[in-house]
Structure 1
Amino acid sequence: MALPTLDNLLRRSAYLTIGMLVVWIGLDTWLTGTAWAGLPLSQSALTVEYCEFNHVHRFVHQPSNTYSNLVYFFLGVLILQIAQVDTQKGGETGLNRLEHFPLLSALMGGCFVYLGFGSAFFHASLTYIGQRVDMNATYSLMLTLAGIALYHLGHRMSLTAAQKKGWVLMILLLIGAFFKLSLLVPSSRLVPALILGINVLMLIDYIQFRNDRSLGLLLLGLGLIVVAIKIRTLDVQKVNCDPYAFFQGHAFWHVLTGLSSFCSYSFFRFTRITS
């Protein structure tokens, strides 16, 4: 059975993403803001954290900040397909370390999809539970990237199939624990700390295998997240803010952080090393 090309993977991701967009638009057309009635508002809604106007009468309160989360969905579906391709390769020779661990790629793809739905839920409803799910999904993506980086840091160890499942289970348990742990440390401290930690681990990996790693992907991922943080900060500070604009600063945050995370994943997945 021939493996699908990258074009096919991208095409399938695009079709599914367009389908999801149609579903979300349909929900916003058929339902109203009363669908969220009874759910406590988030602190973000109470303080008007983001520039975009809150259309309380609509099912999707913040359209730009909601629909932009489809970038996470698209990338998640793409990575899930990559994991499927890696599974089909089985025990082939000439595979890199992450190709030999498709379950970890599947977790990465799942976290992207989780964030796509979680963040959309939050910006559509601006509820407290939506904000909690959004943040947990954000941490899930970063914790999985950290898990991938640590897995490569232990490159001298060859994990059995059972140990690989244990590694994924440990990450899942940590993600679940963060639903409570994240309440103890402000996200303004925890998110930058995780971003810094991931990039330090990637730098260590690059120093170890500089002939087999892409410095471009490392720098691009870092550059995108730096720009994303700057844009998000300006959006929160209401600099050049137009609440009714089609494009919103926080929507660009979604796009840029999604691409940054994909670059970080690609740094490991598309390496030439076969250890």
Structure 2
Amino acid sequence: MQSRLITGYSFWKDKVLPIALVITLGFLILYIGLASFGLIGLDQTSYANGSISRWCERISAGIFKEPINSLSNLGFMISGLLMFSILSSDCKNKYNVNNFYGLTPISLLYAGTVVYLGIGSLLMHGTNTNWGGWADNLSMIMYIILPWIINIGEMGRWSIRKFIRVYIIIVLIYALSRWVFGSSLGINLDLFGLSIGLWIISETLYRFWTSKFRWFSGFIGFVVAAVFGITPIEIFSNFDKYWWVILFWLPALFSRYKPVKKRKYFPWFFLGMIMYILSFIIWAQGKPNSSYCNPDSFIQLHAIWHLMTAFSTWCFFKFFRTEKLINSE
């Protein structure tokens, strides 16, 4: 996809960061105000005050039902705001190559979804409501589908307009389905887990694209699933639950062209992946049935997961900024 600055770039260059900052602070002020007057979280549906949440922290009667887990989401907001700051100050000499330099539709979308990761997760941990959980899941999907759609868009020679259209359609379908049918969307589809696989598959294909490897690339998804504890034996023994593995071949289907750009994977891509895998291990221990769970501690493992994954989003932002034309050297 050819990099393209947003319309009216000169006008927006000095305004994007202040606008993002105002929106972020405005959300926090609005949340605190509504919660202080008891106007948010009235339909608390998950756990009673004083009980232990499914993410280990004890439920509070205050404005944040899970105080530590809620406030740790500031990490995402800070990460996203730093991205807006860097994008606003970029020089023009790389704008025509990299979609993560300057104020492009893709760079703004990425930074915005990172900020919303913090907002969505705070709504879930702060209110302990079903609608808060919906906002949290939506924020996760809005972020995790971006990398693999970017990769497929590059290898499919999509226009920016087509990329945005596909992204919006997927988000809207997920948002409605998640609200009506719940986390599996009524069809046993784990879109978040699938998207992690699609990212690694499409990233590997982006790096090693050949016409033959294109169709082999789907098998990489089984390796990714195994890393997260889902073995091929389990998949095929419960295919009604894991039928979505057939979608591992989506990148092969749409990635018809060899990329004309390349990325530098060390250190940022590997650092981001290592941080995410380590944070996933910590996330798995941050539950009530874990011996590491201390519901009254100021150190909550789920909060650490938030901070580590927030740093991962920063690493991947830096990674995408390494992209340049293959013949540029």
Q: 1:196 and 1:24 mapped to 2: Cα distance?
A: 37
Q: Secondary structure at the match of 1:246?
A: coil
Would you say 1:62 and 2:66 are equivalent positions?
yes
Deviation readout 1:40-89 (Å, 9 max, x if unpaired): 4148999831111110x201111111111111111222223344446x73
- Letter of the aligned partner of 2:170 in structure 1? L
Instruction: Choose 1 or 2 for highest CA Rg.
Output: 2
- Written as runs of structure 1 = structure 2, the 5 A alignment for 1:107-126 is 107-126=109-128
- Letter of the aligned partner of 1:167 in structure 2? F
Q: Secondary structure at the match of 1:260?
A: helix
Identity of aligned residues (%): 19
In 2 relative to 1, CA 184–234 (structure 1 residues): closer, same or farther, beyond 3 Å? closer
Q: Please say if residues 42 and 131 of structure 1, whose CA atoms lie closer than 8 Å, have aligned partners that are also in contact.
A: no
Q: Please say if residues 34 and 40 of structure 2, whose CA atoms lie closer than 8 Å, have aligned partners that are also in contact.
A: no
Would you say 1:176 and 2:172 are equivalent positions?
yes
- Letter of the aligned partner of 1:197 in structure 2? L
- Letter of the aligned partner of 1:199 in structure 2? I
Q: Secondary structure at the match of 1:239?
A: coil
In 2 relative to 1, CA 198–101 (structure 1 residues): closer, same or farther, beyond 3 Å? farther
Q: Please say if residues 42 and 129 of structure 1, whose CA atoms lie closer than 8 Å, have aligned partners that are also in contact.
A: no
In 2 relative to 1, CA 66–246 (structure 1 residues): closer, same or farther, beyond 3 Å? same
Q: Please say if residues 28 and 60 of structure 1, whose CA atoms lie closer than 8 Å, have aligned partners that are also in contact.
A: no
2:54 pairs, out of 46, 49, 54, with 49
Normalising to structure 1: TM-score of the pair?
Answer: 0.76
- Letter of the aligned partner of 1:128 in structure 2? N
Q: 2:183 and 2:311 mapped to 1: Cα distance?
A: 29
Q: Secondary structure at the match of 1:36?
A: coil
1:252 pairs, out of 287, 304, 309, with 304
In the alignment, what sits opposite 1:77? 81
Task: Give the number of the structure whose residues are more often helix, by fraction.
Answer: 1
In the alignment, what sits opposite 2:40? 36
1:221 pairs, out of 249, 272, 288, with 272
- Written as runs of structure 1 = structure 2, the 5 A alignment for 1:120-269 is 120-154=122-156, 157=157, 163-182=159-178, 183=182, 185=184, 189-207=190-208, 212-236=263-287, 237-269=289-321
Q: 1:134 and 1:204 mapped to 2: Cα distance?
A: 30
In 2 relative to 1, CA 102–25 (structure 1 residues): closer, same or farther, beyond 3 Å? closer
Q: Secondary structure at the match of 2:146?
A: helix
In 2 relative to 1, CA 239–129 (structure 1 residues): closer, same or farther, beyond 3 Å? same
Q: Please say if residues 41 and 128 of structure 1, whose CA atoms lie closer than 8 Å, have aligned partners that are also in contact.
A: yes
Moved more, 226-235 or 253-262: 253-262
In 2 relative to 1, CA 188–171 (structure 1 residues): closer, same or farther, beyond 3 Å? closer
- Letter of the aligned partner of 1:50 in structure 2? W
Q: 1:26 and 1:137 mapped to 2: Cα distance?
A: 17
In the alignment, what sits opposite 2:227? none
Q: CA deviation at 1:213?
A: 1.7
Larger relative contact order, structure 1 or 2 (CA cutoff 8 Å, min sep 6)? 1
- Letter of the aligned partner of 2:198 in structure 1? G
Deviation readout 1:186-225 (Å, 9 max, x if unpaired): 7994322211211222222233589742233222222111
Q: What root-mean-square deviation, in Å, do the aligned CA atoms of Structure 1 and Structure 2 show?
A: 3.7
Q: Secondary structure at the match of 2:325?
A: coil
Q: Please say if residues 48 and 59 of structure 2, whose CA atoms lie closer than 8 Å, have aligned partners that are also in contact.
A: no
In 2 relative to 1, CA 100–263 (structure 1 residues): closer, same or farther, beyond 3 Å? same
Q: Please say if residues 52 and 295 of structure 2, whose CA atoms lie closer than 8 Å, have aligned partners that are also in contact.
A: no
Q: Aligned pairs, how many?
A: 252
Q: CA deviation at 1:20?
A: 3.9
Q: Please say if residues 51 and 241 of structure 1, whose CA atoms lie closer than 8 Å, have aligned partners that are also in contact.
A: yes
Q: CA deviation at 1:36?
A: 3.2
What stretches of structure 2 of length at least 5 have no aligned partner?
A: 1-9, 11-16, 210-258
Q: CA deviation at 1:100?
A: 7.9
- Letter of the aligned partner of 1:70 in structure 2? L
Q: Please say if residues 79 and 310 of structure 2, whose CA atoms lie closer than 8 Å, have aligned partners that are also in contact.
A: yes
What stretches of structure 1 of length at least 5 have no aligned partner?
A: 4-11
Moved more, 42-51 or 190-199: 42-51
Q: Please say if residues 206 and 213 of structure 1, whose CA atoms lie closer than 8 Å, have aligned partners that are also in contact.
A: no
- Letter of the aligned partner of 2:109 in structure 1? L
